[in-house]
Structure 1
C-alpha cells in the first residue's frame, strides 16, 4: 500500500472523490505531479470532481493553467471528458479558452471528438474560436464533420474552410460516409459540393477512394456531379481511383451510374491497368466480366494471367492447409 503523501495515492483519492482524506494528506504532501506531469487539478478535471477541483484552486492556489508533458491544461481534460461543471468552473476562474496542447489541439477540438453539445456550447459562449487549426490543419468544424453529429455542426461555422490538404468539411463528411452531415452542410451552410482539394480532387474522388457507395449515389444522382469528372492534378476519374484502391463495389456503383469504363489516365492506363497494378483480384475479375476482355488488349491479357496465378496460389494454400 502506498504511504501517505505518495503521488499515486493522492491521485487515487482525487479519482475516487475522497475530498476529506485528500485534505488530510495534502497537509503532509503539498502538491503532486503524476508520471505524465499531471497535477492534481488535471486528475480532478479528468474525473469530473468539481468539489476537489475547487478546493485545490481556492485552498491551495494551484495553477489552473498548469500544463503536463503534452501541454494539456485542466480545461483540456474537463472538455475532453465532457464534464460541463468543471469546464464552467475553470472558465469562470479565468482559464484560457483556446489554450493549446500538443499538436495544437484546443479544448473545443477535444470536446468535438466527444460530441458533448453542452460543453461545446459553453466553450463557444466563452469565446472559443472554432476556426483555429491544429498541426494537421483541422479546425473544430472539420472534427465535428468527421464525427457526424448535425446538432454540433449547427454551433460552429465556415463550411468551406480547409485543412492543410485543402479538404473541406463537406469532403470529410462524404469520404467518411456521413451523407446526412453532407446534406446539412449543403442546406444550412451552403457548402460547395464541387470544391477541390490541393490535388484538384473533389468529394466524389475522395468517396471513391474510401468506398462510400451511398455518398457517391447522392453526389451523382441527387446533386448532378459529373461521374466522369477528373481530378485536376492526377487526371483520374472516380472510377480510376476506385479501381486503384480495389474498391470493387464502388467500381460497380460508378459503372451503374454511367461512368466510362474505357476512361484512362495521362499514362493511358485504364481501370483494369490500375486494378492489376494493385493486385486487386476481385476488382480485376469484376472489370474483366464487365467487358474488358479484348484478347488484343495487353492489359486484359495481364489481368487474366494475374487472376489465374492468384487462383493457383489460393488453390495451393488450400491444399497445404488440408
Structure 2
C-alpha cells in the first residue's frame, strides 16, 4: 500500500518494504521514530492548510515530535488523547493512517513537495517490483491489457473462454519473466492483496483504483518494446483505440499516451485487420486518430484488403452495446459505420463505402444518410449523395431525398441550418430543398437559422420565399427568435429587407405582437435580450404603441404570466430599455406583475427612480399580492439578478409614502403564508442592519 504524504517525492525519500528487507525491519525503533516524525510533519502541514489546530491537537503533535517521549509514554498519552481529544483520534483520516501503518503490505513514500512528480515515483517502485516481485508486476500489466477491469470469471478454469485465453496469458507470463505455467489463482490472490493500493473490487470485478493510476500504468508499460507488442496483440480494443497513437501521425498526444514507433506500425495495422475480420468495424470508429486524414488514408488501405462481403455486412451494423464511452455523443454511439462516417464528415471512408454500390435505403438508422451528412457538415459528402439520385425529391434505389425526415425528425435543410453551413444550405436549395418543411419542433429552416443568428443563411432562405410568420410548436416566430438573440441586422432583415421582403412580411401580416405559448411577445423577447436598438425598431413599426394592431407593438400587452414588455425590462435591469418604453407611454402601474415590483425584485435603484418619477403607485399590489416595499425588503424569490434586499430602494419607497403595514385585504401569498410584514421580510432578506433600521425609524420605534 502506498501512503502519499505529498503530491510528489524526492529521489532520496522513497522508502519501500524492499528497502527495509521485509515488514519485520519496521520493528527497528529508530526507523519507526524517524518515519513517524516525517509523517507528523506532513500532518502538521495539512492541518495548517485546512483548519486551525486546537490546543489538544497541538499538544498531540508536540508530543509526537519528541520521539523519546512518544515511546516512553505512548500508552498513557494515547489514553489522554482519547479522553481529551476523542474528536481528533476518531477522525476517518487518523483511522485510515493507523490501518495503513499496521498493514504488512504498506509502502510509505515520504519526501519534500515539488521535487518529483508522482508518475516518476511509481515508475521507480514498479522497476523494483519487476525484480523483487515479478508476479505483482505481471498482475499490474494484466490490468493494462484488460483496460483496467478484470472479471473474476477470467480466473475460472471451467470458464468457456479459459482455454482461448490460455495462450495469451502464457505469452504475457513469459514476457514478464515468470513461469508460463503460473496458476491463474495465484494472479487472483495477488490482485486481492493489492485491493486498496492499486485496485478496488466492485462486485465480481477488479478495477484499477482510479483513472490517474491507470494512466500511469499505461504509460509505464507502454515504454518497453516487448510490452508494446503485447499490447498491440492482446489488449482490450478500448486500450488499443484510446490509449495508443502512431508516432508517424505526428500529432499532439496526451502525456500518458502509448506511442507506437514506425517499427511497430505493421503489427498495429495487422491488429486492425484482425478486428475487421472478427466483425469489429464499428469499434474502429472510436479510434482517437480517426479524426486525422493521414490515419484514415492508412485505414482505408486496410478496408480495401477486406473481402467486400465481410465489409458490406458490417457497414450497416449498429453496435450491440452502444454505451462505449460516456464522453461519446449518443447519436454517434448508436449508429453503424456508414452513418458514423457521415456524422463525422469522413469523406474518404464514405466515398469508399458508397463505391461498393451499397443500398443507400438499407441503413437501419434514426438518420437519413443525407441528414447525418448535413449534421456532420462535409460539403463533399453531401454532393456525393446528391449526385447518386436522379430525382432528389423522391427516394429510389440509389437516390437520397433532400426533404426526407429521419426518425430524429430533422430534415437535411434544418440540420444544415442548425450547423450553420451556408455551402450545404445552398447545395440543398439548388437541388430543390423545401424551405418550409418543418422538423419535429415544427421549426422551419428559417426559424432554426434565426435561432443560430446566421445572417447569410437567413438571406438565402428569404430569397427562396421562406414563410417568415410560421410559428413553431412553442409558437415562436422567426422574428421572436431573432429579437431574443439580439441581432439587429437579422431583425432588420426580417422587418425591412427592401420592397419584396417588405411585401412578404407586411402584406402577409407579420405580427410583431404575436404572443408565444410561453408568454413572450417579440418586444418582450427583445427586452430580455437587452438590445435597445431592437426595442426601438419594434416600437417604430407601430403607429400607436399602446394599441395592438398588425404593425404596432403594445408595450403594455400582458402575457399569460402577467408580464408586459416594461415589466420584463425591469426584471432584467436594463435602464435604457425602460426609458425607451416609458418615453413611449408604457403604463407604469400595469398588473399582474407590476413594473415597480419587478424593479424592486431586480434591485436596481435607478430603474425604481425612473418609475417613481412617472408617478408609479408605490402601494400598488401585483397579482401575487406583493407590494413594491415587500419585494424590496425580501428580494428572495422574485428577483433575477439583484442582491437580497436593498436599503436604498427601501428608503426611496418610504420617501414616496410606501405603506409599511401589509393591507388586511391582500390575499395570501408566499410572504403572507409566513405572516411576514415588510419589517420581517427585510430581516429575512439579509439586510437587517440597514433595511430594518430604516423601517423602524419610519414607524417611530
Q: What interval of TM-score do these two structures reach, taking the shorter chain for normalisation?
A: 0.7 to 0.9
- The alpha-carbon distance between structure 1 residues 301 and 77, as it changes in their structure 2 partners (threshold 3 A), is closer
- Report the counterpart of residue 10 of structure 1 in structure 2: 338
SS of residue matched to 2:680: helix
Measure how far apart 1:140 and its partner are. 0.6
Please report the TM-score for the alignment, with normalisation by the length of structure 1.
0.79
- The alpha-carbon distance between structure 1 residues 240 and 33, as it changes in their structure 2 partners (threshold 3 A), is farther
- The alpha-carbon distance between structure 1 residues 16 and 297, as it changes in their structure 2 partners (threshold 3 A), is closer
| C-alpha RMSD over aligned residues | 3.3
Picking from 471, 474, 482, the partner of 1:144 is 482
Distance (whole Å) between structure 2 residues aligned to residue 51 and residue 295 of structure 1: 70
Number of residue-to-residue matches in the alignment: 302
Counterparts of residues 12-31 of structure 1 (less than 5 Å): 12-14=340-342, 17-26=345-354, 27=356, 29-31=358-360
Measure how far apart 1:263 and its partner are. 2.3
Q: Is 1:43 matched with 2:367?
A: no
Q: Is 1:282 matched with 2:644?
A: yes
- The alpha-carbon distance between structure 1 residues 307 and 64, as it changes in their structure 2 partners (threshold 3 A), is closer
Q: Name structure 1 gaps, 5 residues minimum.
A: 312-322
- Per-residue deviation, residues 75-127 of structure 1 (Å, max 9, x unmatched): 11111222222222222323222111122111111111221122111112222
SS of residue matched to 1:175: helix
Distance (whole Å) between structure 2 residues aligned to residue 114 and residue 308 of structure 1: 40
Q: Do the aligned residues in 2 keep the contact of 1:103 with 1:135 (CA within 8 Å)?
A: yes
- Per-residue deviation, residues 244-296 of structure 1 (Å, max 9, x unmatched): xx2111x5422244254632216874212234565367325344333539997
Greater shift in the superposed pair: 180-189 or 131-140: 180-189
Q: Do the aligned residues in 1 keep the contact of 2:402 with 2:433 (CA within 8 Å)?
A: yes
- The alpha-carbon distance between structure 1 residues 167 and 197, as it changes in their structure 2 partners (threshold 3 A), is farther
- Report the counterpart of residue 602 of structure 2 in structure 1: 247
Q: Do the aligned residues in 1 keep the contact of 2:526 with 2:534 (CA within 8 Å)?
A: yes
Distance (whole Å) between structure 2 residues aligned to residue 306 and residue 18 of structure 1: 59
- The alpha-carbon distance between structure 1 residues 295 and 92, as it changes in their structure 2 partners (threshold 3 A), is closer
Please report the TM-score for the alignment, with normalisation by the length of structure 2.
0.39
- Report the counterpart of residue 522 of structure 2 in structure 1: 169
- The alpha-carbon distance between structure 1 residues 205 and 18, as it changes in their structure 2 partners (threshold 3 A), is closer
SS of residue matched to 1:290: helix
Distance (whole Å) between structure 2 residues aligned to residue 295 and residue 94 of structure 1: 67
Distance (whole Å) between structure 1 residues aligned to residue 446 and residue 466 of structure 2: 7
Picking from 306, 315, 322, the partner of 2:684 is 306
SS of residue matched to 2:493: coil
- The alpha-carbon distance between structure 1 residues 140 and 33, as it changes in their structure 2 partners (threshold 3 A), is farther
Q: Do the aligned residues in 2 keep the contact of 1:288 with 1:300 (CA within 8 Å)?
A: no
Q: Do the aligned residues in 2 keep the contact of 1:160 with 1:170 (CA within 8 Å)?
A: yes
- Report the counterpart of residue 430 of structure 2 in structure 1: 92
Q: Is 1:214 matched with 2:547?
A: no
- Structure with more contact order per residue of length (Cα contacts < 8 Å, sep ≥ 6): 1
- Report the counterpart of residue 229 of structure 1 in structure 2: 589
Q: Name structure 2 gaps, 5 residues minimum.
A: 1-271, 273-279, 282-310, 317-335, 389-397, 495-504, 543-550, 638-642, 663-676, 690-701
- Per-residue deviation, residues 150-202 of structure 1 (Å, max 9, x unmatched): 22123324233332356321221013211111122233576425250344643
Picking from 93, 116, 120, the partner of 2:454 is 116
Q: Do the aligned residues in 1 keep the contact of 2:515 with 2:522 (CA within 8 Å)?
A: yes
- Report the counterpart of residue 264 of structure 1 in structure 2: 620
Distance (whole Å) between structure 2 residues aligned to residue 307 and residue 155 of structure 1: 46
- The alpha-carbon distance between structure 1 residues 121 and 269, as it changes in their structure 2 partners (threshold 3 A), is closer
- The alpha-carbon distance between structure 1 residues 239 and 56, as it changes in their structure 2 partners (threshold 3 A), is same
Distance (whole Å) between structure 1 residues aligned to residue 609 and residue 470 of structure 2: 40
**Of the two, which has the highest radius of gyration?**
2
